[in-house]
Chains A and B, each alone.
Chain A
Amino acid sequence: MGSTNSTLSKIPNVEELVQETGFTPAHIVRLYDRFEALDKEKTGHLRPQDFGAINRLAINPIGDRIIGAFFSPGQETVDFHSFVRILAHFRPADKKRPKDPSMPEPVNSRTSKLKFAFQLYDQDKDGKISRAELLQVLRSMLEMQVTEEQLESIADRTIQEADLDTDDAISFEEFRKSLEKVNIDHKMSIRFLR
Chain B
Amino acid sequence: HLVKLGVHEVPPPSSGLLTPTMGGFVQIKLAVYFLTIGLVLLNLPCGSYTEIPPKPPGTVTVLPPVTPAEGPQAFPDAENSNLPVFTMNYARIQVPFEVTLWVLLASFAKIGFHVYHKITFWVPESCLLISIGLMVGAIMHSVHEEPPAVLSYNVFFLFMLPPIVLESGYFIPTRPFFENVGTVLWFAVVGTLWNSIGIGMSLYAVCQIEAFEVQDINLQENMLFAAIISAVDPVAVLSVFEDVSVNEQLYIVVFGECLFNDAVTVVLYNMFNFVAEMPEVEPVDVFLGVARFFVVGLGGMGFGVIFGFVASFTTRFTSNVREIEPLFIFMYSYLAYLVAELFSISSIMAIVTCALTMKYYVEENVSQRSCTTIRHVVKMLGTISETLIFFFLGVVTITTEHEWNWGYIMFTLLLALVWRGLGVLVLTQIINPFRTIPFNFKDQFILGYGGLRGAISFALVFTLPDSIGRKKLFVTTTICMIMFTVFIQGISIRPLIEFINVRRTNRNLETINVEIHSRLIEHTIAGVEDLCGQWSHYYWKDKFLKFNNRILRKILIRDNRAESSIVALYKKLELQNAMEILDTVSGDINAGSSIVSLQYVYPLSHSSACFLSLSLSLSRSLSLACSLSLACSLSLSFSLSLLLAFSLSLSLSLSLSLSVSFCGLVTLSVSLSLCPPGCLSYTSFHIVHPSSLTHYPFNLNRSDGYLRNPEGFGLGSIYQG
- Report the bound CA distance from A120 to B521 in whole Å: 10
* Given A54-B531, A90-B525, A142-B564: A183 and B536 interface contact (C-beta under 8 Å): no
Q: Determine how close the nearest CB of chain B comes to the CB of A35; give it in whole angstroms.
A: 10
Q: Mark B518-529, 1 if CB is under 8 A from A, else 0.
A: 111111111111
The minimal Cβ–Cβ distance linking A161 to chain B, given in whole angstroms, is 5
Instruction: State whether B436 touches A191 (Cβ < 8 A).
Output: yes
* B562 close to chain A: CB less than 8 A: yes
Contact A179 B525 (CB under 8 A): no
* Contact among B566, B570, B573, B602 for A141, CB-based, below 8 A: B566
Chain B minimum-CB-distance residue to A57: B530
Distance (whole angstroms) from the CB of A131 to the closest CB of chain B: 12
Contact B567 A154, beta carbon cutoff 8 Å: yes
- Nearest-neighbor residue (CB-CB) of A90 within chain B: B528
- Let me know if A82 is at the binding interface, CB within 8 A: no
- In the bound complex, do residue A87 and residue B511 qualify as a contact, i.e. CB atoms below 8 Å apart? no
Interface band, chain A? 35 or more
Contact with A along B560-581 (1 / 0, CB 8 A): 0111101100100110000000
Q: Tell me whether A153 and B599 are in contact (CB under 8 A).
A: yes
| CB-contacts of A23-73 with B (<8 A) | 31, 34, 37, 51, 54, 56-57, 60-63, 66
A57 to B524, CA, bound (A): 10
Shortest C-beta distance, A147 to chain B (Å), equals 10
How far is it, in angstroms, between the C-alpha of A183 and the C-alpha of B505 when the chains are bound? 10
- State in angstroms the CA–CA spacing of A51 and B518 once bound together: 24
B532 near A87 with CB under 8 A, answer yes
Given that A162-B513, A191-B436, A191-B536 are known contacts, is A145 also in contact with B562, CB under 8 Å in the complex?
A: yes
Contact count band on B: 35 or more
Contact of B570 among A37, A154, A175, A189 (CB under 8 A): A154
In the complex, the answer to whether A178 meets B511 with C-beta atoms within 8 Å is: yes
**Known contacts A137-B520, A146-B564, A189-B436; is-contact A182 B514 (Cβ 8 Å):** yes
A66-B524 in contact given A34-B532, A157-B603, A191-B436 (Cβ < 8 Å): yes
Are B523 and A141 within 8 A (Cβ)? yes
* Contact status B516-A190, CB under 8 Å: no
Residues of A within 8 A of B574 (CB): 157
CB distance A187 to B603 under 8 Å?
Answer: no
What is the CB-to-nearest-CB distance from B162 to chain A, in angstroms, rounded to a whole number?
35
Q: Is A103 an interface residue (CB 8 A)?
A: no
Which A139-157 residues have a C-beta within 8 angstroms of B?
A: 141-142, 145-146, 149-150, 153-154, 156-157
Is there contact, CB below 8 Å, between B514 and A153?
no
Residue of B nearest to A152 (CB): B600
Shortest Cβ gap from B433 to chain A (Å)? 10
Q: A120-B520, A166-B634, A183-B437 are in contact. Are A178 and B514 (CB under 8 A)?
A: yes
- The residue on A at minimum CB distance from B569 is A154
CA distance A189 to B529 in the complex (A): 10
A181 and B530 contact, Cβ closer than 8 Å, known pairs A146-B567, A153-B570: no
Any A CB within 8 A of the CB of B84: no
> Is A160's CB under 8 angstroms from B566's CB?
no
Across the interface, do B603 and A186 meet the contact criterion of CB distance under 8 Å? no
The reply to whether A154 and B566 contact each other, CB–CB distance below 8 Å, is yes
Residue in A87, A90, A141 whose CB lies within 8 Å of B520 = A141
**Closest CB of chain A to B529's CB: distance in Å?**
6
B12 interfacial contact with A, CB 8 Å: no
Which residues of A lie under 8 Å from residue B531 when comparing CB positions? 34, 51, 54, 57, 66, 87
Q: Which of B567-607 contact A (CB under 8 A)?
A: 567, 570, 573-574, 599-600, 602-603, 605
CB of B27 closer than 8 Å to a CB of A: no
Docked complex Cα distance between A156 and B519 (Å): 18
CB-CB under 8 A from B618, the residues of chain A are: none
Minimal beta-carbon separation of A150 from chain B (angstroms):
7
Q: Which partner residue on chain B sits nearest A69 by CB separation?
A: B524
A158 proximal to B (CB < 8 A): yes
Question: Shortest beta-carbon distance, B552 to chain A, in Å?
Answer: 17
Q: Chain A, 168-186, contact with B by CB distance < 8 Å: what is the 0/1 string?
A: 0000000100110111101
Task: Give the nearest-CB partner of B561 in chain A.
Answer: A145
Q: How far is the CB of B581 from chain A (nearest CB, A)?
A: 16
| A179 and B517 contact, CB distance less than 8 A | yes
Indicate whether A117 reaches chain B with its CB closer than 8 angstroms: yes
> Across the interface, which residues of A come within 8 angstroms of B534, CB to CB?
190, 192-193
Q: In the bound complex, what is the Cα–Cα distance between A63 and B121 (angstroms)?
A: 50
Alpha-carbon gap, A137 to B533, bound state (A): 25
Contact with A along B612-644 (1 / 0, CB 8 A): 000000000000000000000010000000000
In the assembly, what is the distance between CA of A1 and CA of B519, in Å? 38
Given A153-B599, A161-B605, the answer on whether A120 and B524 have CB atoms closer than 8 Å is: yes
- B88 proximal to A (CB < 8 A): no
Residue B418 interfacial (CB < 8 Å): no
Across the interface, which residues of A come within 8 angstroms of B634, CB to CB?
166
Complex formed: what's the CA distance from A63 to B528 in Å? 9
State in angstroms the CA–CA spacing of A113 and B25 once bound together. Answer: 73
CA gap between A120 and B526 in the complex, in Å? 14
Instruction: Please judge, given known A-B contacts A145-B564, A190-B529, A190-B536, whether A117 and B517 are in contact too, CB under 8 Å.
Output: yes
A161 touches B530 (CB 8 A): no
CA distance in complex: A181, B574 (Å): 22
Check if A92 is an interface residue, CB within 8 A of chain B: yes
Report whether A161 and B532 are in contact in the complex, using a CB–CB cutoff of 8 Å: no
Query: Quick check: A117 and B521 within 8 Å, CB to CB?
Result: yes
A64 to chain B, nearest CB (A): 10
Are B509 and A181 in touch, CB under 8 angstroms?
Answer: yes
Instruction: Write out the residue numbers on chain A whose beta carbons fall within 8 Å of the beta carbon of B518.
Output: 182, 187
Which residues does chain A contribute within 8 Å of B520, judged by CB atoms?
62, 117, 120-121, 137, 141
When chains A and B are docked, how far (Å) is the Cα of A164 from the Cα of B707? 42
- Minimum distance in angstroms from B540 CB to a CB of chain A: 14
- B530: contacting residue among A54, A121, A137, A153, CB under 8 A: A54
**Which B residue's beta carbon lies closest to that of A146?**
B567
Interface centre among B522, B531, B536 (most CB of A within 10 A): B531
A188 interfacial by beta-carbon distance below 8 Å = yes
Minimum C-beta distance from B94 to chain A (A): 55
A160 partner residues in chain B, CB cutoff 8 A: 602-603, 605
Task: State in angstroms the CA–CA spacing of A34 and B517 once bound together.
Answer: 28
Q: Is A138 an interface residue (CB 8 A)?
A: yes
Which chain B residue lies CB-closest to A117? B521
> Once the chains are docked, how many angstroms separate the CA of A153 from the CA of B514?
16
Contact assessment for B524 and A117 in the assembled complex, using a CB-CB cutoff below 8 Å: yes
B512 within 8 A of A: yes
Report A50 CB to chain B, min CB distance, Å.
Answer: 11
In the complex, whether B506 has a CB less than 8 A from a CB of chain A is: yes
Complex CA distance for A183 and B247, rounded to whole angstroms: 11
Are the CB atoms of B523 and A62 closer together than 8 Å? yes
The answer for the CA separation of A156 and B603 in the assembled complex, in Å, is: 11
Residues of B within 8 A of A153 (CB): 570, 599-600
* Shortest Cβ gap from A134 to chain B (Å): 8
Of the candidates A57, A92, A142, the one whose C-beta lies within 8 Å of that of B527 is A57
Q: How far, in Å, is A56 (CB) from chain B's closest CB? A: 4
Q: Of the candidates A63, A116, A141, A149, which one forms a contact with B519 in the assembled complex, judged by CB atoms under 8 Å apart?
A: A141
Residues of B within 8 A of A137 (CB): 516, 520
Establish whether residues B436 and A188, one from each chain, have CB atoms under 8 Å apart when the complex forms.
no
Q: Which residue of A is nearest B538, CB measured?
A: A190
Which of chain A's residues have a CB closer than 8 A to the CB of B570? Answer: 150, 153-154, 157
- Inter-chain contact B563/A145, CB cutoff 8 Å: yes
Tell me the smallest distance from the CB of B273 to a CB of chain A, in Å: 44
CB distance from B209 to the nearest CB of A (A): 46
Q: A87-B531, A154-B567, A184-B521 are in contact. List 4 more A-B contacts (CB 8 A).
A: A34-B533, A146-B564, A149-B599, A154-B566
Q: Residues on A close to B: CB < 8 A?
A: 31, 34, 37, 51, 54, 56-57, 60-63, 66, 87, 90, 92, 116-117, 120-121, 137-138, 141-142, 145-146, 149-150, 153-154, 156-158, 160-162, 166, 175, 178-179, 181-184, 186-193
Q: Show 14 residue pairs from A and B whose CB-CB distance is below 8 angstroms, ordered by the A residue.
A: A60-B523, A62-B524, A141-B516, A141-B523, A145-B561, A145-B564, A149-B599, A158-B516, A181-B508, A186-B437, A187-B522, A189-B436, A190-B536, A192-B532
Q: Which 4 A-B pairs have the closest CB atoms?
A: A178-B513, A66-B527, A56-B530, A60-B527
